[in-house]
Amino acid sequence: MSQSKMSNTSSKWRWGRRWRSCRLRLSSNNNLPSLPEELLEEILVRLPVKSLLRFRCVQKSWSTLVQNPTFIAKHLRHHQTKTKNPSILVEGLDKIEDLQYLLQSHPDEGGGVRVLDFKGDSMGRLLTVYTKMFACINGIICIAGILRGHYGFILWNPAIRKGKIIPYTQSPNCPPDALSGLYFAFGFDQNSNDYKVVRVVEHKKKSAENSITRYCNAFYVYSLRAECWTQIFGTPIHHNNIKLHSCCNEIYFNGVHHWIGFLNSEPGDSYDHHIILSFDMSHEVFQIIRFPDMFFPNKTLAVFNDCLACIVYGINEYIDIWVMREYGVEDSWTKQLVVGHLLGIQRPLQLLGNEEILLVDENQTLVLYNIGSQEIKILQRTGYPKIFMPRRAIVYVESLVSFTGGIVFES
Amino acid sequence: MSNTSENPKPSSSSAKMTLKTSDNELFEVEEAVAMKFCTVKQYFEDEKDSDVAARGSTTVIPLPNVHSAVLATLISYGKKLPQSNAVADNHEEEETKKKERKKYEQGLLKNLMPGELLDLISAANYLDFKEGLEFFNQALADHIQNKSVEYVRKFFGIKNDYEPHEEEKYREEYAWAFEGVDED
């Protein structure tokens, strides 16, 4: 009787004559040779991407099922809602200006690390400098960079190891020396089932009279379906003097991207109001949301209890978590909780669910802190590049989403 | 493994129902557990009008698609679930019950033959037993997750309909997905 090797699970599964005869004996009157598709789907939806890609080989109907957009959406939803200990995608610097990406699984799920090495594979040959923006929607990572001398974005699914390049040309409208900032966003329009990339080109204008610096922002949106860029005009944003100040503190929430910035509303206004500039991916509209003044000095946007939240820190060893109870209503900012007393922490990176907070300590080590139990878990350093300074982190849930057309690459 | 109904105790606190399997075995089950099988619940509710409920467990509900061995396991699992009519426990009691259930679940899976999972899933689907379906679906997914394509074909009784060159091409393209798989 053949015996399989012991798998990692605690049960010993035996495959061979014994169970087959057992099965015939105990078999119910269900005479179907295989499970009906709806039942099969319920099982397959629970499998990780690697297994599903392999099982496409089982039979043609399985391959069709796994590639079906409805199944892909169902699979993603299942893993987004059922995952208790999500993996974390971490962006960090390994040397000055050299970005590295790691996929860190949760300590309770093994805590293993996978380095997403762009340089060593086909994408590395394309992407010579990756500059900014790191967002992850539905298992797709979006990175802005310079490819073959051109500006572009990469949309990459590390679970299926395939991606797509979206080139763009910098706007000729503003003289290069006035270019003072470039900001990006990546999102998903649920209404049109479309992925979008947003590019904000900022340039400075100094006003001679009162030497207040005015900022002009041009907004461009790329639609993956339409495969083209559109410039957005005439929004209220254009009438305001806004300077985005996003550096690893923005967040994508509920189909809306949120940047942090300053608003200088009146000339002679010495006061820079801190604001959130949000962009709704579906309706393609902007909104300004103000912060209370007490959010000082440092802020990182987050999600807490399905609400937009803000992690405020920098004064002492405590971290305040504020929640905007009613989205868009500035008065509804409420101090939800205070996390602390944390020693040796440099700064918070992200909230994981409502229970854990990911932090960077003074030694540039990632630390996971459980708010309720106050337990600290140091994320393993094995597998990390020798020098790695974490800049930001996003919860990562793998998916089967893929793109066709255009410049597609494999990694 | 029959569990024929004896004279029901008149002082029993919860009503019992009798379920009859495809191999003509009778199972006496507490109503609270049987109600988790929505198909049974529907049948029972349809029969309510005819005054049957008042007479207790003299109704026998036929389950022609479920074998006795399978039903026994599903009933056993159903008993371990938190009962909807139970008094709410405090946090500690809840945690203890959770741990007990986890232990029971691990024990259950240990003693199951993989082939039985398919039967359990079919039966749970027929009975519309949501918690059972959830649990056994996950158990089966966990079981096949790291298995080879050949194993999965044999397990589900599936015939390979790919041409050899088609399959070879696919395996080359996704070679990394075929690494680290359990040996058959």
HEC string of B6-20?
CCCCCCCCCCEEEEE
For residue B29, what are its two tokens? 């089950």
Radius of gyration of chain A (CA): 24
pLDDT at A194: 93
**Chain B residues with CB-CB distance to A59 below 8 A:** 153, 158-162
Average pLDDT score over residue span B153-172? 93
Test B184 with A7 for CB contact under 8 angstroms.
Answer: no
User: Mean of the pLDDT values across residues B51-59?
Assistant: 55
Cross-chain Cβ contact A42/B137 below 8 Å = yes
Look over chain A and give the mean of its residue pLDDT values, rounded to a whole number: 80
For A21, the closest chain B residue by CA position comes to B115
pLDDT at A46: 96
**Residue A267: per-residue pLDDT:** 59
Q: Is A53 on the interface with B (CB under 8 A)?
A: yes
Tokens representing A93 are 């610097």
Tell me what pLDDT residue A53 has: 96
Contact of A187 with A206, CB cutoff 8 Å: no
Model-level pTM greater than 0.90?
no
pLDDT in tens, A41-88: 999 999 999 999 999 999 999 999 999 999 999 999 999 888 788 899
Calculate mean pLDDT across residues A130-135: 68
Q: Which of B141, B181, B183 sits opposite A43 (nearest CB)?
A: B141
Nearest to A57 among B143, B170, B184 (CB): B170
Mean of pLDDT values over A171-180: 63
Q: Of A11, A19, A56, which is closest to B110 when you measure between CB atoms?
A: A11
* Highest mean pLDDT: which range of A20-29, A275-284, A345-354, B38-47: A275-284
Q: Looking at residues B104-124, what average pLDDT do you find?
A: 87
Residue in this structure with the two tokens 């942090």, named with its chain if needed: A260
Q: What is the pLDDT of residue A268?
A: 59
* Angstroms from B89 CA to nearest CA on chain A: 21
Strands A345-352 and A356-361: antiparallel
Cα distance between residue B62 and residue A29, in whole Å: 14
Dist. CA A303–CA A298, nearest whole Å = 17
Q: What is the mean pLDDT of residues B102-119?
A: 85
**pLDDT for position B5:** 45
pLDDT reported for residue A5: 42
Cβ-defined contact of A39 to B151 (cutoff 8 Å): no
> Tokens representing B138?
């996950």
Contact residues, B window 93-152, toward A, CB-based 8 Å cutoff:
106, 109-110, 112-116, 118-119, 121-123, 125, 133, 137-138, 140-146, 149, 151-152
Q: Is A271 on the interface with B (CB under 8 A)?
A: no
Interval A138-158: pLDDT, tens: 999 888 877 666 778 888 898
pLDDT of residue A206: 67
Number of H helices, E strands in chain A: 6, 26
Q: How much of chain A, in percent, has pLDDT values that exceed 90? A: 29
Which pLDDT belongs to residue A10?
34
Out of B64, B114, B154, the one facing A13 most closely (by C-beta) is B114
What proportion of chain B, given as a percentage, has pLDDT over 90?
Answer: 37
A278 with A256: CB under 8 angstroms? yes
Q: What pLDDT does residue B10 have?
A: 46
A vs B: CB pairs below 8 A: 122
The separation between CA A306 and the C-alpha centre of its own chain, rounded to angstroms, equals 16
Q: How far apart are CA A112 and CA A106, in angstroms?
A: 8
Average confidence (pLDDT) over A226-245: 80
CB contact under 8 A, A59 and B158: yes
> And the tokens for A382?
């094995």
Specify whether the CB–CB gap between A379 and A104 falls below 8 A: yes
Which strand (E) or helix (H) includes residue A127? strand A127-137
Task: Using an 8 Å CB-CB cutoff, list chain B residues near A83.
Answer: none
A30 and B122 within 8 Å at the Cβ level: the answer is yes
Instruction: Decide if B68 contacts B25 (C-beta within 8 A).
Output: yes
Burial of A131 (0-12, 13-18, 19+ CB in 10 A): middle
pLDDT of B183: 84
CA dist B157 to A340, B69, B104, B184, Å? 57, 22, 30, 16
Taking the C-alpha atoms of residue A178 and residue B15, their distance in angstroms, rounded to an integer, is 81
A14-24 residue pLDDT tens:
333 333 433 43
Q: Which residue has the higher pLDDT, B83 or A186?
A: A186
Q: What phi, psi does B57 have (nearest 5°)?
A: -95, 40
- Average pLDDT for A348-368: 89
CA-CA-CA-CA dihedral for A378, A382, A386, A389, to nearest 10? -30
Rg (CA), chain B: 21
Q: Which helix (H) or strand (E) holds A78?
A: helix A69-82
pLDDT at A400 over 90: yes
Choice among A261-270, A324-333, A368-377 with the minimum mean pLDDT: A261-270
Between vectors from CA B114 to CA B113 and to CA B115, what angle results, nearest 5°? 90
Q: Which residues of A touch B183 (CB under 8 A)?
A: 4-5
Q: Tens digits of per-residue pLDDT, A185-229?
A: 999 999 999 999 998 888 877 666 666 677 788 889 999 989 899
Burial class, A134, CB count within 10 angstroms (exposed 0-12 / middle 13-18 / buried 19+):
buried
Segments of A169-305 assigned E as strands: 179-189, 194-206, 213-223, 228-232, 242-244, 251-253, 256-263, 273-280, 285-290, 298-304
What is the predicted pLDDT for the residue at A15? 36
Q: Is the pLDDT of residue B147 over 70?
A: yes
Query: Half-sphere exposure of B110 toward its Cβ, with a 13 Å CA cutoff?
Result: 8
- pLDDT at position A411 is 61
